[in-house]
Amino acid sequence: MIRPAEVHDVPEIRAMVRELAAYERAEEQARATDEQLRRALFGDPPAAHALIAEDDATGETVGFALWFPRFSTWTGTRGMHLEDLYVRPHARAAGHGRALLASLAARCLRDGYERFEWWVLDWNEPAIGFYKSLGAELLDEWTVCRLSGGPLAELAARAPADAR
């Protein structure tokens, strides 16, 4: 079963975020607190949205998808960025990931979004194979850029005074 996340799901979502970060070899980077996730998902307005996958037989939370809208100047339309997709190892290959992605694809169409995009680590062959099986196009020519910490602060310090 796929359903929208509710406030009481926040601790479970945070636990799965940490599980995902451990799988991606970056557990120390998963620092979000329950309160930060609660504000992001249920604040006014929310910064992001989440779906929960539950096992039909047990009701156990087995996965989640967290996404937020984006905008394309090229198409002049909104799109969806999938930040996290995670299914717990014991529940994989049971259709939960496909159901989460299908639910998000349906939302894209319902809301007039022309693009549904996400990132995948280049070494994550199981995920890459799964995404290709869905018809996803892997855009090898794009490189993710990130500023954080000191470099972000240094660049911000160069902003015109009226922008700070």
* Count of CA atoms in the C-beta half-sphere (13 A) of 124: 16
Domain map (residue ranges) of the chain: 2-163
Residue 62 in contact with residue 100, Cβ under 8 Å? no
Q: Which two tokens stand for residue 21?
A: 């970060």
**Where does residue 16 rank: exposed (0-12), middle (13-18), buried (19+ CB within 10 A)?**
buried
Give the model's pLDDT for residue 162. 83
Give the model's pLDDT for residue 142. 87
Angle between helices 10-23 and 34-42 (to 10 degrees): 110
Residue 30 in contact with residue 17, Cβ under 8 Å? yes
Q: What is the mean pLDDT of each run of 10 residues along the chain (164 residues)?
A: 97 98 95 98 98 95 98 95 97 95 97 95 93 94 90 93 82
Give the model's pLDDT for residue 6. 98
Give the model's pLDDT for residue 163. 81
Give catalytic residues, as residue numbers. Answer: 131
pTM above 0.95, yes or no: no
CATH class of 2-163: alpha beta
Tens digit of pLDDT for each residue in 36-80?
Answer: 999 999 999 999 999 999 999 999 999 999 999 999 999 999 999
